[in-house]
Amino acid sequence: MSLTIYHNPNCTTSRNVLRLLQEAGKAPTVVEYLKTPPSRARMQELLAAMGMKPRDILRRSGTPYDELGLDDPALTDDQILDALEAHPILMQRPIVATDKGVRLCRPSERVHEVVDL
């Protein structure tokens, strides 16, 4: 089974999910998305697999969300994707992708929806 976690080691929730995976004997591919952000195409694939829109994964705290005016309801999905590409810190985390599906694992327990632990 393929298993990838889009991870931020500075995030408690992300660290918890990675720990849950490792304690269960899983060996996920760890993508530190701040160092290696997913491509726009990959981001669109992840969003489609989660049934979410770009706005749904925006993070406000500790990001340039407010200064970029991302709360403007007139912004299109493409404009929000542009912001996510330019500022990967805007992405909620962790996102876990497996053959069973893709989930934004907030709270951490959501990982159980796509990984048998």
Identify the CA nearest to 63 among candidates 34, 30, 29. 34
Point out the catalytic residue in the list 11, 58, 70, 90: 11
- For residue 105, indicate whether it is catalytic: no
Q: Is 38 exposed, middle or buried (0-12, 13-18, 19+ CB in 10 A)?
A: buried
Contact 14, 34 (CB under 8 A): no
Which residues participate in catalysis according to the annotation? 11
